[in-house]
Structure formats: C-alpha cells, structure tokens
Chain A
Amino acid sequence: DARVTQTPRHKVTEMGQEVTMRCQPILGHNTVFWYRQTMMQGLELLAYFRNRAPLDDSGMPKDRFSAEMPDATLATLKIQPSEPRDSAVYFCASGPRRNSGNTIYFGEGSWLTVV
C-alpha cells in the first residue's frame, strides 16, 4: 500500500535549535509539496518540487527555512534557527505527473512544537 512517509511524527525543540523534517514520497511520483498548517493560517504551501528541482518556494521564509530533494526518494525541510512561531504541523505530499488525472497523497504530518 503506497504512502508518503514523514519523520519525525512529533518534535519538541527549544527555540534556536535546528529542525530537519524528512519525507519519502510515493515511488514513481515526481512532484513533492511541503505544506504548513496552523490554526491561524490554515494550510499553506511552503515549497514545491518537480523532478527534484524546486519550482516554487515563495511561501517559505528564506532566512530560516530551506527545502531540498537530495534524491528522488527523499525530501527535506530544514528550519534553522527555529522560533516559537514555527510551531505547526508540516505536511509533505507527493503527486504523479501533472495533468495525469490522479490525485495527490499526503503524509501523516510532522507535529512541531518550538518552546
């Protein structure tokens, strides 16, 4: 049963620490998304990759956030240094080729708390 796998599922860290979240997209999917969900803002796009190339990271605070796909099976989202306002659920999603008519699949999310 193919699924998107995210780690860690839960993370509590102190302000100023580096946080790295990882995502394994579904095998064969060439598009990967990172989203953030907060009570105030709802779901927002942070970054979007196709064939491992970043196509849109306009939703990401550039001074502290970075997103990469070192290979087709791994996407990472890094926050350095972390701040309390980064507390949120971070979702990774993957999808097949654009306009293929298929939907996208979400991971279970990484619940981040920065204290």
Chain B
Amino acid sequence: KNEVEQSPQNLTAQEGEFITINCSYSVGISALHWLQQHPGGGIVSLFMLSSGKKKHGRLIATINIQEKHSSLHITASHPRDSAVYICAVGYKLSFGAGTTVTVRA
C-alpha cells in the first residue's frame, strides 16, 4: 500500500467550479507538498504545509496532522488550471499517484 493516497484519480470540471483534491498519508511527516505538473512540463511546488492552511491566489491548501489528511482546493477554476496535481510527503518526498484535473471552458 502506497504511503500516500490521492483522490480522485481524475477530475473534470466546468470553468468556474470549485475543485477539491484529497490526500491521505500513513506516515508521520514534518511537511506535505502540493505540486503541479502541466502536460509535458516540469514540476512546480505550489505549497509546503506543516500545519493549518495556506492560500495563494485561487488555490487553498489545508492539512490536518492528526488525521493525516490534506486537501487542495481550486476556487473559480479556469482551463489553465488543467494539470496533474501531486501530493508528496516527507523531506525526501514520497509521492501520491497524482490527480489529473481537466477544466472545460
């Protein structure tokens, strides 16, 4: 069983919709990362969290250390948000399988 589980695996939304991606992990961690990867592209770190909540533009990430769970929310989604979103935990990074998000205009 993977240390990091993401859901859903795939997600399609209409432009403007609110999107939530979930990540659960089974090991104790000091930090959790949310990463974004566009098709054929590199990987960008969106957030690094160790507690609470962070917001950047239309993106919000939350983490509950006790429940070993994190969520990434995209408000007012836009087609340019279409990408793979990857949850990764720990200092060396153990990765979830990724969530492929498609936002239709």
Contacts and interface: CB of A to CB of B under 8 A. Distances in A.
A78 B17 CA distance: 45
Contacts of A62: none
Interface size class, chain A: 20 to 34
Contacts of B47: 103
Interface string A95-108: 00011011111111
Given A43-B86, A101-B48, A109-B42, 5 more contacts: A42-B98, A103-B47, A106-B42, A108-B41, A108-B42
Contacts of A91: 42-43
Contacts of A42: 95-98
A35 B30 CA distance: 20
Interface of A: 33, 35, 42-45, 48, 56, 91, 93, 98-99, 101-109
Nearest to A104: B45
Q: Is the interface of A mostly helix, strand, loop or mixed?
A: strand
Contacts of A35: 93
Interface size class, chain B: 20 to 34
Interface of B: 30, 33, 35, 41-45, 47-48, 50, 86, 88, 91-98
B95 A33 contact: no
Contacts of B94: 45
B65 to A, nearest CB: 15
B93 A45 contact: yes
Nearest to A109: B42
Nearest to A44: B95
B42 A104 contact: no
